[in-house]
Amino acid sequence: MPVKKTMQEKQSSIKPSIGWETDRDIAKELADFFVVNVTPAYISYGEIQCDRAIDSRRWSPKFREVLLDEFKGAIKTRGNVREGRRVAVARHEGLILGIVVIGIHLKANNPHVVIEDLVVDQKKRGNGYGKEILNWVELQAAKMKAVDLFLESGITNEDAHDFFEKNGFEVVSKVMIKKVHYEK
């Protein structure tokens, strides 16, 4: 007698298609997906530096607009990008399951790739999609002959820390911030 699969088992057997995004018209959909699928625990120094967040606990009122501009800049319409940012999307039957933004730094003394963002649909987490995306990024980095793959993660984003450590990443530093007060 065949065993019925649970909904999670069915979802985890779905293999997403992952590829570089080349359609700038999708930037709004990516920004909306991002906003819906992250919490303040996601905030790290990168979000503060680029004006996505006010501090380590609060998103900027301009969060969505900043993301929209970033996605428009990271979506490359052609060519083999060897430096700069790229965005890739994981989909199944046209639906976005996850997105990843990487920074490519192959001209550095130590050629490397930085995972700037990795976001999976909240409702679909735990089904292996993040791992699929991470494996795909590592394959792309290897094709580019990058030596290292870096990422940063918000200090309270423990689930992400566990996920990345289970997938071979190790902690190499701690980033700190101090606000500078000046006369206006």
The predicted model gives 33-42 an average pLDDT of 97
pTM over 0.75: yes
The string of pLDDT tens digits covering residues 89-139 is 999 999 999 999 999 999 999 999 999 999 999 999 999 999 999 999 999
pLDDT of 136 reads: 97
CA dist list (Å): 87 to 51, 117, 165? 19, 9, 23
Tokens of 89: 């999307």
Which pLDDT tens digit goes with each residue over 38-76? 999 999 999 999 999 999 999 999 999 999 999 999 998
Mean pLDDT value of segment 145-157? 95
Task: Check pLDDT > 50 for residue 178.
Answer: yes
Instruction: Judge whether residue 33 has pLDDT over 70.
Output: yes
Residue appearing with tokens 């979506």:
75
Q: What CATH number was assigned to the domain covering residues 19-166?
A: 3.40.630.30
What does the alpha-carbon distance between residue 39 and residue 168 come to, in Å, rounded to a whole number? 24
Q: What angle do CA 43, 90, 24 make, to 5 degrees?
A: 80
- Contact in structure between 67 and 52 (CB atoms under 8 Å): yes
State how far the alpha carbon of 81 is from the alpha carbons of 65, 74, 89, in Å.
25, 10, 16
pLDDT value at position 7? 47
CA atoms of 22 and 165, how far apart (whole Å): 31
| Structure-token pair, residue 176 | 């700190």
Domain ranges of the chain: 19-166
Helix (H, G, I), strand (E, B) or coil at 64: helix
